[in-house]
Structure formats: structure tokens, C-alpha cells
Amino acid sequence: MKTLKTKHYLVAFTLGLTLASCSKDEAVTTDPASDNLNETTVLSRGALPEAVEGNLIWEIPGVKAHDFSFNYNKLVEPSECGTTPFSAVTSYYNNALINGFISSWDGNPDAIGVILEDYFAINQIAALIGKNADTFGANGEYTHYVENRVRSLEKFWDMPDLISVRGQHTYTLEDLSFIRFIYENYSNATPEQVDYLVGIANHFNTTSDQIPENPFFASDGFASSTGVIVIGDGIVSMLAETDLDPKVVWSGILAHEWGHQIQFQNFGNWDYPVPAFSNTPESTRMTELEADFLTGYYLTHKRGGTYNWKRVEDVLLSFFNIGDCGFTSSGHHGTPLQRLEAARQGYLYAANQQKKGQISDPQAVHDAFISALPGIVGEAL
């Protein structure tokens, strides 16, 4: 039955849930009439057990630049979100998801593994094996836009047919036969255990309006060195809820992930002050800032995204203020100000180049970034 060739590895799920430190069973104080996203608090977090493992044996293949991802530890911890518009949105959906889970939960710890662990892996696998991955937006409403943007990026960076951009949708998780297929191919579950796990999925899907509808279930945003970019509907819709144009959000995330693909293509050839993709905070910050520089360059270039800087700045500022609400910590990606400055330097470089009608090749843009890097991280100050 192992017909899938996607490389996967045994992952040690070390969740280390810290729920016990939050043992008060708070009452539900959700006020459905409230427009204030911060006023939804979480029901009975302390009732959730401390450590539950998922059932899937899976890791994204290749070198990864993972910009957005669900983080169970951060999701279930009481969050201190709310300092930025985007963190208020993620905090709202975070709490809605936990409340939705608890409302349908009978106390069975296995359900945590299925709904709050496996569902996220299932949707990653879906994107990478091409399940519902060729449409963008919950109703496919951004499919043409993304396809056009991909063609623009291919032309601008002279990278035809090299990168596969994949969508990710919450509705994929409504398909119990697909969930069954994943358990049969990506876990060690026996047929009886698969029936049991799918039964849990069915229960939550039919009794909770958050499962799997919550945007966190489709919130991946990453680039893999296997030539794949995954962008979930959820990350775009949550960013767009901060009063941003969803099309510019799609473009911003896509241009950033494309920047990582350019880095992967040139891995080993490009010189950096510290080794690229070496899994240190300095390395991650450097490659992220370069992806931001490439983003600012492409999005504002008159032969690229053609956006004016102000529109780009608004989107990137939200994008950079990801905070700690269920997403990869922004700390290693550079501070929001460093990231915005990297993108601004890319914009200034584009403004200078396009006067001459030029598009620089990736090597020249990389060299420009390396020259600007000390100023971006403040070492020149």
C-alpha cells in the first residue's frame, strides 16, 4: 500500500505541552455579539492532558524555510496576543479552535492527537502530494490571480517551470476517505486503529463548527528545496482580516517564498557572512532578511509586481508582526523593523535599477543585499 514516493521520516513528536501550568478551568466568556476579537477567552484549557502524540510518521522533505506553521505548544498556551492587528486575529482563531475542540470533546486523549496534531500534518501532506493543491482560496477565487503571479515571478527571475506552488484548504480535512488514506500510508496504525482514528475525525467534523473550518488548519506557508511552495488559505485570510487586500497578501507571501527558492537554487554558490540554512538564529535571520529584500525588489519593480512601496509596506508590516500566536517565532526571522528595512532596501534597489529599465539577475540582487545587510541589522550604526 506504500505507493507514495514522498520521502518521509520518523519524527520524534516532543510536544512537551505546558497545559498543566494553566490549570484553572476558566468559564466560557465568549460574547458572540462582540466585535472585539480579544474578548473571546478559552474554555477549560486545564482539562487538556499534558502530552499527546500524533499518529503520523511524516516530515516535509528537503531543506525548508518555514515561515508560517501551526505550533501546538503556542496554540494551547494562554497567549499574550493582541498587541498587533494580526496577533489579535490569530488569538481569536486560536481560542475559537480550542473552544471548538473542547466543546466536542469527551475527554479521550487520542482525540488531541488526531485533531490538534494529525490534522495539521494531513494538510501538509495533502499540499505536497497534490490533493486539492492546484486551487487557491477557499472557493478557488484566487486561483487565476496566483497563477498569473507565478508566471510573473517565473519571468522576472528567469525561472520557468522550476517551482510548484501548492494551495492548502480546510475543506480537504472534511474528506474522511482522504484522512483514511493518509493513516493507511503515513502511520503504523492497524486497519482497526485506522477505523478508530477516522471515527474520531468524523465525530469532530460533524459536531464542531471549528473543525476543520478554523483557518489554522490551512495556515502553512513554506518553501522546500524540492521546488515546492505551500501557501494555505488560512494564513492569507487571517492576514487579510487585518484590513489588507488579499491579493497583495498572496503576492507578498508568494514573493517571499519565491525568494527562498532563489536561495535554494544558488545554495553553495552564493557567499554569505554566515553559512546559509545552517539552522542557527544568525543564519535564519540572514536568509529571511534576504527573502524580504528579494520581496521588496520584485513587488515594487515596474517589470515585477508593480506595487507602490506604501501598499507593500502595509502588507509586509503585518506579515512581519507575526508574533507568538501559533506561528513560528519571528525572533529568528529578524525583528519586524529589520525585516521591513530589508524589504525597503530591496525597493530602493529596484527604484534605482528600473530607471534604466533593468531587471538585475539574482546574483546582482544577492550582492546588493549582502552590501546592505550590515545596515539592515544595525551593525553599521
Comparison of 136 and 277: residue with beta carbon closer to Zn ion: 277
Minimal distance, residue 285 CB to Zn ion, in Å: 10
The position carrying cell 501557501 is 231
- What gap in Å lies between CA 266 and CA 250, rounded to an integer? 24
Applying CB under 5 A, among 42, 54, 64, 67 the residue interacting with Zn ion is 67
233 binds Zn ion (CB under 5 A): no
- What gap in Å lies between CA 315 and CA 242, rounded to an integer? 9
- What gap in Å lies between CA 67 and CA 77, rounded to an integer? 20
Minimal distance, residue 237 CB to Zn ion, in Å: 19
**Stretch of 60-68, 158-166, 233-241, 276-284 contacting Zn ion, by CB under 5 A:** 60-68
Comparison of 133 and 294: residue with beta carbon closer to Zn ion: 294
**Stretch of 12-20, 64-72, 167-175, 313-321 contacting Zn ion, by CB under 5 A:** 64-72
- What gap in Å lies between CA 30 and CA 42, rounded to an integer? 8
Quick note: the x/- pattern for Zn ion over 182-211, rule CB under 5 A, is ------------------------------
- What gap in Å lies between CA 371 and CA 374, rounded to an integer? 7
Applying CB under 5 A, among 112, 128, 200, 291 the residue interacting with Zn ion is 291
**Stretch of 98-106, 140-148, 291-299, 310-318 contacting Zn ion, by CB under 5 A:** 291-299
| 3-state SS class at 157 | coil
- Report the amino acid identity of residue 98: I
**Stretch of 1-9, 50-58, 180-188, 284-292 contacting Zn ion, by CB under 5 A:** 284-292
Applying CB under 5 A, among 19, 65, 173, 317 the residue interacting with Zn ion is 65
Q: Treating both helix axes as pointing N-terminal to C-terminal, what angle do 143-156 and 246-265 enclose, rounded to 10 degrees?
A: 40
Closest residue to Zn ion, judged by C-beta, is 67
CA count, 13 A, side-chain hemisphere, 252: 28
Element (H, E) at 365: helix 362-377
Minimal distance, residue 101 CB to Zn ion, in Å: 29
276 binds Zn ion (CB under 5 A): no
User: What is the longest distance spanned by two Cα atoms in the chain?
Assistant: 67
Decide if 325 contacts 82 (C-beta within 8 A): no
Point out which residues bind Zn ion (CB under 5 A): 65, 67, 288, 291
